[in-house]
Structure 1
Amino acid sequence: MKSFSIDDEQLARLVCALTGDELARHFNHYTDFVAQAEWGPDTPVGEDGAELTQEQLEACARRFCSFFDKPADSLITAASDTFGSWSQQVKQLIEKDLRTFRFHPATQGGVAEARHSADEVWQDARMIASLMHGRRRIITMVSTHSLFGFVTSVLAPNLQHLSVVDGRAMSPDLLADSLTFGDILIATPTLWRYLAQTLPSFPNNVMGLSFGEPLMLDLSAELREMGLGAMRELYGSTETGIIGWRDTPSEPFVLFDHWAADGEKLVRTCPDGQVRELTAMDHLLWEGDRTFSLAGRRDGAVQIGAVNVFPQKIGEIIAEHPDIAGCNVRVAQRSGALDRLIAHIDLNAGVSPNQDMAWRVDEWCRKKLRPPERPRIYVFGQVS
């Protein structure tokens, strides 16, 4: 795939993002997006920088190689490396040959990979680039390590020759001052909810781009009332690729040109002319040959902060606590507020549902669950 282009700064930003995700997935070490946004090509991976241990350093290097489907030992590492030196090594590899990407979806096990040919990722980028036509600049609030983040804030902007600014470290006041006529602002619905609560308004002709979880109609309307010129929402998944888009939550999604419906299946026409059948992660309610709305997840996942979580699995993990007999987790959806998880916990006979018990459960959840998986409310009952 010869037409692919990723510059040095984008590669360094990508390796920083992959490092943050790898630390969270396999070391239970969460680096907030503000800290990640401050990492750059000159940031040491070890002391006085990201402070990676030797084990973490090796795992993150393997993850960077894996992203481009290169052998795990392709990257020669040392504690004195910088993120920029890592990206320069991989740059030499992908300039010679780049055929496949490997993305990590937020699955129940947290370790599955989704492989996509580089040509198909490029095909997705061309479709997204068409939605960006006529824009001046992009400010992104999302990381580049995911399929959607990579396509929307690296590949598609490159096709339209748009500069990209990482807005994750910006305060609301700085972001408000930075937005200008013709910009695109990329964020997940959870972040859009935060922006709606913290920004005073939007300049004329700013377009929003949203993905990762459903965009609710009340939030979309609130953003438009604040002056947002347009809001485009993408649909798809890490497993399938980017499937469709719409301009408002009140309308159905529209398939991109290389997709077609075939009963319960979706059919993708690939750049090489091959045709593949895929199943969407959601049940799709077709309203025309090429338009659809969503009718619930197939795998029982819900989305908290643009991350797929599985309430049944979360309940099973909480129920492993020695004082707990059973746990049921549900999602509380509130108009004008973020979705949150509520855990209904049955304690073993003789265990008191007091504050100390709540702290023990909370500590258990912090050790066993990722931040988006942790319930915000505990409701205690007791087995008689």
Structure 2
Amino acid sequence: MVEDSLQHHFVVTLIGDLLADELARMRPLESEFWKRRQWHEDDRLVAKHQSTNDSGNDEIAVDSLERLALAGRIVQFFHMGDSGVEDYLLRRDSLSDWAEIVLKSRQVHSRNVTVTTSGSTGQPKTCEHSWSDLVNEVNEFVNVFNNHYDLFPSRVVALVPSHHIYGFLFTVLLPHLTNVPVLRGFKAYSHVRNGGLRTGDIVVGFPELLTQLATEISFLPPGVLFMSSAGPCPASTLHQLYAKGAARAIEIYGSSETAGIGYRCEPENNYRLLSRWRSNLETPQLLTDSQTQNTFELPDNLNWQNADEFKIEGRIDKAVSIRGTNVFPAHISNCLKQHPEIADASVRPMQPAEGSGLKAFVVPQNSASMEMTEQNIKRWLAERLLAVEIPEHISFGERLPLNIMGKTSDWAIDKPVN
């Protein structure tokens, strides 16, 4: 396996996903556009005053502060600080040029990467990972595929972005190390949905999308592996994939802070701990890196069956996974309460029969307010939150729904509480 610096096209992919993520953060009203955009090495960042009306789709007009933020995100992810070449990002325009600068930095400085996540307040948190640790993890999974499951990857079908740790491991590092091609974007989705998969494909997805695709797939060739992460995948989805002919459907458990921690291939099974980690049965929420002896506090309640196997029994930080992204209902609820016409609010994930996104319950300051429409609130939230954080459905009532203990309870959508 090749373990040296990343290939140029993988760096271009990573840069495109990082730019999309940062532009979505800076321009929340355009977030869906940037997340859907297909990025290419000829794409160029140009100053807004230099952009012309007849410029092609390969120009991205940014102001000086946006350009600084975009370059800063690349420096952060690729650990380029003090490399001596990071300033060249401000002197070059194309993604191809930026990839060359990144590769030069990796030759002279560091090959580590730094991913970001959201904390309980929605503020980004940086998580640095050693290149050797990530390579070792991917090699361990390749060994599991080959020796335990008799599966040999020949192509990766990527349904997740590359700049999160899960996407980086399995849609960048795995194909880099095994020298196999990658399908991305709509082409990848189309191949899964419309019968384009072939023996040796690894489909890297997340629970909501795999749940949708499991109902649309008619049949699968032998030797196709599905992977899911970023939250629990419904057992019914995994059983459907097996019924359609999946060779394996593997759930990966991990976090932005730790990378992968464990895996399982049957929803009824325990997760098996990866070799890097040592459990602490006396303090179940702590993991120890067997090489560095560093300890990590896990975001979930784990029930250890033995030193190497565990079950997951819910999040500690109350995050929920929506379309592969962890979001925090409490943070969204607090944002709603900042609206001048909202007295109180509650946000929860929808029930399976209701949908796969979030729902909100809003108590207006004044029941006669003309501003309290679902669309007006969503537009107001779009200026403050990412698209994935905006509730799909908003209910209204004179008070929040409460249970018999007086605590906020769930509600059926379209059924206001009077």
TM over 0.5: yes
Distance in 2, Cα, partners of 1:13 & 1:129: 22
Distance in 2, Cα, partners of 1:75 & 1:223: 48
- Please state whether the residue corresponding to 2:344 is helix, strand or coil: strand
Cα drift, residue 16 of structure 1 = 0.6
- Please state whether the residue corresponding to 1:104 is helix, strand or coil: strand
Higher mean displacement: 109-118 or 181-190: 109-118
Distance in 2, Cα, partners of 1:261 & 1:145: 28
Per the alignment, residue 98 of structure 2 pairs with 86
Higher mean displacement: 202-211 or 55-64: 55-64
Which residue, 376, 381, 386 being the options, matches 1:365? 381
Cα drift, residue 95 of structure 1 = 1.4
Per the alignment, residue 208 of structure 1 pairs with 226
Residue by residue over 1:126-177, the C-alpha shift from the partner in whole angstroms, topping out at 9 and shown as x without a partner, is 2233244322211111111111111111112222232222244456368534
Per the alignment, residue 286 of structure 1 pairs with 304
Question: Is the Cα–Cα contact under 8 Å of residues 139 and 164 in structure 1 kept in the other structure?
Answer: yes
Query: Does 1:39 pair with 2:39?
Result: yes
- Seen in structure 2, the aligned counterparts of structure 1 residues 223 and 161 have a Cα distance that, compared at 3 Å, is same
Per the alignment, residue 135 of structure 2 pairs with 122
Query: Does 1:377 pair with 2:393?
Result: yes
Query: Does 1:220 pair with 2:238?
Result: yes
Cα drift, residue 109 of structure 1 = 2.6
Question: Is the Cα–Cα contact under 8 Å of residues 322 and 356 in structure 2 kept in the other structure?
Answer: yes
Residue by residue over 1:280-307, the C-alpha shift from the partner in whole angstroms, topping out at 9 and shown as x without a partner, is 1101011222111111111111111121
**What is the number of equivalent residue pairs in this alignment?**
377
Which residue, 358, 362, 372 being the options, matches 1:345? 362
- Seen in structure 2, the aligned counterparts of structure 1 residues 368 and 236 have a Cα distance that, compared at 3 Å, is same
Question: Is the Cα–Cα contact under 8 Å of residues 263 and 273 in structure 2 kept in the other structure?
Answer: yes
Which residue, 227, 246, 267 being the options, matches 2:288? 267
Distance in 1, Cα, partners of 2:6 & 2:221: 30
Q: RMSD of the alignment, in Å?
A: 2.5
Distance in 2, Cα, partners of 1:11 & 1:154: 9
Cα drift, residue 332 of structure 1 = 2.0
Cα drift, residue 369 of structure 1 = 1.7
Cα drift, residue 122 of structure 1 = 2.4
Which residue, 98, 113, 137 being the options, matches 2:110? 98
User: What is the 5 A alignment of 1:1-384?
Assistant: 3-28=3-28, 29-32=30-33, 35-36=36-37, 38-46=38-46, 48=56, 49-54=58-63, 55-71=65-81, 74-77=86-89, 81-107=93-119, 108-133=121-146, 134-170=152-188, 172=190, 176-262=194-280, 263=282, 264=284, 265-270=286-291, 274-334=292-352, 338-352=355-369, 357-382=373-398
Higher mean displacement: 105-114 or 232-241: 105-114
Residue by residue over 1:252-271, the C-alpha shift from the partner in whole angstroms, topping out at 9 and shown as x without a partner, is 1100012121132211113x
Distance in 1, Cα, partners of 2:366 & 2:155: 60
Question: Is the Cα–Cα contact under 8 Å of residues 244 and 256 in structure 1 kept in the other structure?
Answer: yes
Cα drift, residue 194 of structure 1 = 2.5
Distance in 2, Cα, partners of 1:301 & 1:31: 21
Cα drift, residue 27 of structure 1 = 3.1
Question: Is the Cα–Cα contact under 8 Å of residues 346 and 361 in structure 2 kept in the other structure?
Answer: yes
Residue by residue over 1:68-98, the C-alpha shift from the partner in whole angstroms, topping out at 9 and shown as x without a partner, is 1112871424697211111011111101232
- Please state whether the residue corresponding to 1:157 is helix, strand or coil: helix
Question: Is the Cα–Cα contact under 8 Å of residues 122 and 328 in structure 2 kept in the other structure?
Answer: no
Letter matched to residue 107 of structure 2: E
Give the % identical residues: 24
Question: Is the Cα–Cα contact under 8 Å of residues 186 and 208 in structure 1 kept in the other structure?
Answer: yes
Cα drift, residue 234 of structure 1 = 0.5
Distance in 1, Cα, partners of 2:32 & 2:347: 26
- Please state whether the residue corresponding to 2:232 is helix, strand or coil: coil
- Seen in structure 2, the aligned counterparts of structure 1 residues 162 and 27 have a Cα distance that, compared at 3 Å, is same
Cα drift, residue 123 of structure 1 = 2.6
- Please state whether the residue corresponding to 2:31 is helix, strand or coil: coil
Residue by residue over 1:7-29, the C-alpha shift from the partner in whole angstroms, topping out at 9 and shown as x without a partner, is 01111111111111111223324
Higher mean displacement: 119-128 or 368-377: 119-128
Question: Is the Cα–Cα contact under 8 Å of residues 192 and 213 in structure 2 kept in the other structure?
Answer: no
Question: Is the Cα–Cα contact under 8 Å of residues 8 and 99 in structure 2 kept in the other structure?
Answer: yes
- Seen in structure 2, the aligned counterparts of structure 1 residues 173 and 237 have a Cα distance that, compared at 3 Å, is closer
Instruction: Provide structure 1 residue ranges, at least 5 long, that are not aligned to the other structure.
Output: none
Question: Is the Cα–Cα contact under 8 Å of residues 23 and 34 in structure 2 kept in the other structure?
Answer: no
- Seen in structure 2, the aligned counterparts of structure 1 residues 303 and 328 have a Cα distance that, compared at 3 Å, is same
Instruction: Provide structure 2 residue ranges, at least 5 long, that are not aligned to the other structure.
Output: 147-151, 400-417
Distance in 2, Cα, partners of 1:313 & 1:247: 33
- Seen in structure 2, the aligned counterparts of structure 1 residues 356 and 345 have a Cα distance that, compared at 3 Å, is closer
- Seen in structure 2, the aligned counterparts of structure 1 residues 313 and 334 have a Cα distance that, compared at 3 Å, is same
Question: Is the Cα–Cα contact under 8 Å of residues 196 and 222 in structure 1 kept in the other structure?
Answer: yes
Distance in 2, Cα, partners of 1:226 & 1:106: 36
Question: Is the Cα–Cα contact under 8 Å of residues 325 and 388 in structure 2 kept in the other structure?
Answer: yes
Distance in 2, Cα, partners of 1:141 & 1:171: 7
Distance in 2, Cα, partners of 1:106 & 1:197: 31
TM-score by length of 2: 0.83
- Seen in structure 2, the aligned counterparts of structure 1 residues 33 and 173 have a Cα distance that, compared at 3 Å, is farther
Question: Is the Cα–Cα contact under 8 Å of residues 198 and 221 in structure 2 kept in the other structure?
Answer: yes
